[in-house]
Amino acid sequence: MVAWQQTIAYRGESIVWFILELLPMIYLVNLWMSLDKTGKMPAEKVGWLIVYQFLALGIARLTASHFDDWVIESIKDGSVGHNFLKPFSYRGFLLANEFTWRVSGFIYMIPTLLLLIPVWGLVSRVHLEINQIFFVLGILFLAFFQRFFVSYLITLTAYWFQEAKFMVHLKWMLEGLLGGAWIPVYFYPLWFQRVSSVSPFYFWYTIPINGLLSKISWQAQLQQLFLAFLWVIILWFVANKVEKAAMSKFSAVGG
């Protein structure tokens, strides 16, 4: 309940974040459309790329984690210690808080998308078979936990590094490049695509968008769900180990 109240109290910040995510998408959509007008790219491909950008924005709203910055600051100034005295898991608190922000952020996005209804004529490209829908929902669910644990690991580095925020920017860069948040990974060389496919970032955008824009066999779906789940387990395990090491290092005085 407290987390829901915070999303309402700080709705301005959520809207600003949405605008920051929306602007690159508008730029890229206009780029694809200009390539279509000049004949440098087939209209079919342009339509596919425009839908890709819309889906990437929606996925970012649903699965991203943005608690890294303020948790790092609370670790640096020691105020995080107050949370360790409360009768609940601090990691659980962050997880619940992030979940409510994702839901509210997606709700704030809906009115803007309604203004762009003409573009949604392109959504006929989306495959709405029931098995593909459940596959994409499963991937998004697992991607949410992957992104949470990656962000949590980043915050834990603040127990060792004074300027740990560079890790947040590194995460943004990797999800943009390896995850396909900026442009599809198919635009990159084959070796880069292979590197991307073995990273957790691949499940953040590329796999769920593929699940909506192309047919995927049930065997491939099961394989991708298994790999996505495996990454959750790996990240959870690493987070537990790093957290124990961080707690043995942490100390706070007064305040």
| 167-190 residue pLDDT tens | 888 898 899 889 988 888 988 999
Please give the average pLDDT of every successive group of 10 residues along the chain, which has 255 residues.
48 60 67 70 73 83 82 74 63 76 65 56 64 91 94 87 82 90 89 93 93 87 95 95 80 51
Q: Would you state the pLDDT for residue 246?
A: 80
Dihedral of alpha carbons 13, 142, 233, 4, sign: positive
Q: Would you state the pLDDT for residue 216?
A: 85
Q: Would you state the pLDDT for residue 43?
A: 67
Looking at residue 255, what DSSP letter applies? Answer: -
Q: What are the angstrom distances between the C-alpha of 144 and each of 103, 134, 168, 229, 238? A: 12, 15, 16, 11, 17
Say if residue 46 is exposed, middle or buried (CB neighbours under 10 Å; 0-12, 13-18, 19+): buried
Q: Would you state the pLDDT for residue 255?
A: 46
Record the tokens describing residue 90, joined without a space.
């601090």
Say if residue 176 is exposed, middle or buried (CB neighbours under 10 Å; 0-12, 13-18, 19+): middle
Q: Would you state the pLDDT for residue 233?
A: 97
Q: Would you state the pLDDT for residue 67?
A: 82
Domain coordinates in residue numbering, the chain? 2-249
Q: What is the pTM of this model?
A: 0.78
